[in-house]
Amino acid sequence: MVWSGIDPVALQIGPLAIHWYGLMYVAGFFATWYLVRLQLRTEGLWETRVSRDAYEGLFTTLILGVVIGGRIGYVLFYNFSYYIGHPIEIFYVWQGGMSFHGGMVGPIVMGWFYCRKHDLPFLKLSDYFFTVAPLGLMFGRMGNFINGELWGRIVENPADVPWAMVFPHAGPEARHPSQLYEMALEGMVLFLILWFVRKKVWPAGVRVAIFLTGYAVARIICENYRQPDAQLGFLFGPVTMGMLLSSAMLLAGLIWLLLLFRQKSE
């Protein structure tokens, strides 16, 4: 199947261009904003423990954390040798280059400082946000697919993978649509798991740990079908940077789960 691509520009008004990728980010942020507030209302915390102003301030802080953390993570883990020689381009975020792992750490750090300053329950709110975070990932991967970027590896026998695609700018070979694999596993499947387990009574922080382990497993699986970043390639053997970072994330999630349930049993 030849993927001719969707025009990345959703709407053009004179010099103003609205891109599908940006709309995917907006959709992800809106879904998160609405579903976290829904959880707060369901558990009776809206306007009692968490005021509207505090919530909106926290949400803005987390968005900044995603952007800042995602950019720093990309610079450090994926293209450090280039940016050390072109430091001003670190601020050229419109040129692309974001790391999920950095985009996760950024809002955690900034959210913790905000919650501490405003006396908000950090772990409980983290559970709410991480429960719906996979939806943001789902929309983001859809944006990658529309842009025809972050494509998958070459399929040796296209007859065995009838959904393989030839992506623009990726050569004539049929490739795995790895963006769709990630959209499904890291996005929808992980969201459904977390949305289901939210009904259970867990210690605060458990849903965060489930997200860490679930995302890490999904990402490691999908990395086997995703083309490694050109500037990095394989780190050693079949291991990519995404696998390495996700392995650390998996270990952290499992240790956190163990500590939380050990604490509960004591």
**DSSP string of 40-55, one letter each residue:** HHHTT-BTTTB-HHHH
| pLDDT score of 254 | 96
Q: Do the beta carbons of residue 132 and residue 35 sit within 8 Å? A: yes
| pLDDT score of 201 | 84
Q: Hey, what are 204's tokens?
A: 């605060």
Query: Does the pLDDT value for residue 67 go beyond 60?
Result: yes
Alpha carbon distances (Å) from 14 to 11, 17, 18, 21, 94: 10, 8, 11, 19, 19
What is this structure's pTM?
0.90
Whether 141 has a binding-site annotation, put simply, is yes
**What stretch of H or E contains 10?**
strand 9-13
- Give the count of beta carbons closer than 10 Å to the beta carbon of residue 89: 14
Cα gap 107→70, rounded to integer Å: 9
Q: Hey, what are 142's tokens?
A: 């859809």
Cα gap 33→61, rounded to integer Å: 12
| pLDDT score of 1 | 54
Name the residue type at position 85: G
CA 265 to chain CA mean position, Å: 32
| pLDDT score of 264 | 64
**Sign of CA pseudo-dihedral 167, 218, 211, 101:** negative
Q: Do the beta carbons of residue 62 and residue 112 sit within 8 Å? A: no
Digit-coded pLDDT (tens) for 77-125: 888 888 998 889 888 877 777 888 888 999 999 999 999 999 999 999 9
Give the residue-averaged pLDDT of 15-38.
Answer: 88
